[in-house]
Amino acid sequence: MQRARRQNRTFSVSSLRRHYTNPFALYDALRAHDSIYFDASSRCWLVTGYHATTAILDDPRFTSRLDDSSAQSLVSKQMVFMDGEEHQRRQNALLRPLAQMSKRMPDAIRLFAQEGLETLRRTGEMDAVNDFAAHISLMSIAHVLGMPLDDHEQLLQLERWSDTFGDATSGYFHGDMQDVARLEDYFRQLIETKRRHPDSDADDLLSGFIAAKDVFPEDDDLISNCMMVFAAGRITTKKLLGNGIQILLEHWSEVQKLYQENPKAITKMLGEELLRMVTPTRCLIRQAVEDVDLSHLATGPHLVRRGERLLLFLEAANYDPASFSCPAQFDPQRRPNRQVAFGFGPHQCPGATLARLEIQIALEALLSIVDLKAHSDMQPVWNPNPNLGGYLSFYVVSQTVKRGSCP
């Protein structure tokens, strides 16, 4: 059997990376040409169709454990790069304490959202990415993990180190790699402290991980997964809110009207539509553990050879017109909305409940500011990480929210 190779058009990983600020025309062309396309230059399959993406993510013949990641490296010990039973045990160790913690989180997240609006209240303007989205995401995941929250400067430094870790994990080597070692040291010390002063009432995630000695017998394993949760729970939610605010502001009066009519239901639906449209983790990677014939998922012969890699563009899947009508249009009441921003299959995001809670509370806080607007003089700036990077900043203004002004 042969691969589908049509010579009239070539697509590549590098062209998709180059268009990181607006890859949509490329996704459309690629999907229409061949939704499971073999890029000969990178020897990678580029998957852009919704059904192909979900089928591959749910198929155990495609692994998350890439064969070039050294078993010793801290990166390879993250559950996201494991499969089978060793993966399931780690995910279970996360799910139980996370579910407990999430139930207790709403009040704390409401407080973080109000703190995030402080600059806007003081000055009438704020950077919605750094002042608001990053603050809620950082404080929420630090709280869930049981990291001390009193030293804000230290948390901001940990955030920078964790950005470097997130970049490196997503294959974008940028910044000072020593930051990863610094973050590792921080978690090593925090684990030591928690072991030295055990608190039988503690229900944070890190205490849960420490107690699960059979799941994390080695500290490297434990630390690696803490670093992963800290990055995975922060970078994604920050990007969702930071990029999502721009989408919301373009439709502000419509959204405000819907919010007045039914606040609870609309923030839920808005959250799902923003997850679909922003898709914070643009792309996932898998590797075939055996030859797999995918010809049934796309027209033409598609034989994936053992060892070959596939890039699954969740963002392209979320804009697949075969699964979402008028996908480029923001529809605050889209139904059904089976967006795949949290992935699919055994690795589907275990933090989805917490993320949805943060998004909903953040949206409630924003929607309470009736006259919120994008700052007319400032253009959003992109973080160049082609997979995880969202806006670095996005300024907004309000006349009424400023303390002391009349509504």
Nearer to ligand HEM, 278 or 397 (CB): 278
Where does this chain touch ligand HEM (CB under 6 A) — which range of 28-36, 187-195, 211-219, 230-238?
A: 230-238
Q: How far is the CB of 225 from ligand HEM (least distance, A)?
A: 7
Residue in 56, 139, 277, 355 binding ligand HEM, rule: CB under 6 A: 355
Site string for ligand HEM, 271-310 (x = CB under 6 A): ---------xx--x--------------------------
Residue in 98, 109, 113, 180 binding ligand HEM, rule: CB under 6 A: 98
Q: How far is the CB of 300 from ligand HEM (least distance, A)?
A: 26
Q: Count residues binding ligand HEM (CB under 6 A).
A: 26
Beta bridge partners of 293: 303
Q: Are 188 and 223 in contact (CB under 8 A)?
A: yes
Q: Which residue is nearest to ligand HEM (CB)?
A: 351
Q: How far is the CB of 289 from ligand HEM (least distance, A)?
A: 15
Q: How far is the CB of 205 from ligand HEM (least distance, A)?
A: 7
Nearer to ligand HEM, 111 or 349 (CB): 349
Residue in 126, 128, 136, 232 binding ligand HEM, rule: CB under 6 A: 232
Nearer to ligand HEM, 91 or 130 (CB): 91
Burial of residue 394 (CB within 10 Å: 0-12, 13-18, 19+) is buried
Where does this chain touch ligand HEM (CB under 6 A) — which range of 26-34, 174-182, 194-202, 224-232?
A: 224-232
- Quick one: three-class SS letters along the chain? CCCCCCCCCCCCHHHHHHCCCCCHHHHHHHHHHCCEEEECCCCEEEECCHHHHHHHHCCCCEECCCCCCCCCCCHHHCHHHCCHHHHHHHHHHHHHHHHHHHHCCHHHHHHHHHHHCHHHHHHCEEEHHHHHHHHHHHHHHHHHHCCCCCCHHHHHHHHHHHHHHHHHHCCCCCCCCHHHHHHHHHHHHHHHHHHHCCCCCCCCHHHHHHHCCCCCCCHHHHHHHHHHHHHHHHHHHHHHHHHHHHHHHHCHHHHHHHHHHCHHHHHHHHHHHHHHHHCCCCEEEEEECCCEECHHHCCCCCEECCCCEEEEEHHHHHCCCCCCCCCCCCCCCCCCCCCCCCCCHHHCCCCHHHHHHHHHHHHHHHHCCCCCEECCCCCCEECCCCCCCCEEECEEECCCCCCCCCC
Is residue 80 part of the contact set for ligand HEM (CB under 6 A)?
yes
**To 5 degrees, how large is the angle CA 115–CA 121–CA 123?**
120
Q: How far is the CB of 279 from ligand HEM (least distance, A)?
A: 7
Looking at residues 48 to 77 of the shown chain, list those that interact with ligand HEM (rule: CB under 6 A): 64
Looking at residues 119 to 148 of the shown chain, list those that interact with ligand HEM (rule: CB under 6 A): 141
Q: How far is the CB of 63 from ligand HEM (least distance, A)?
A: 11
Residue in 164, 236, 318, 339 binding ligand HEM, rule: CB under 6 A: 236
Site string for ligand HEM, 175-214 (x = CB under 6 A): ----------------------------------------
Residues in CB range of 363: below 8 A, 6 or more apart: 248, 267, 270, 271
Is residue 79 part of the contact set for ligand HEM (CB under 6 A)?
yes
Where does this chain touch ligand HEM (CB under 6 A) — which range of 27-35, 161-169, 233-241, 325-333?
A: 233-241
Is residue 318 part of the contact set for ligand HEM (CB under 6 A)?
no
Residue 66, both tokens: 């890439």
Looking at residues 332 to 351 of the shown chain, list those that interact with ligand HEM (rule: CB under 6 A): 341-343, 347, 349-351
Nearer to ligand HEM, 165 or 401 (CB): 165
Is residue 354 part of the contact set for ligand HEM (CB under 6 A)?
yes
Q: φ and ψ at 225, to 5 degrees? A: -75, -30
List of residues contacting ligand HEM (CB under 6 A): 64, 79-80, 91, 94, 98, 141, 228-229, 232-233, 236-237, 240, 280-281, 284, 341-343, 347, 349-351, 354-355
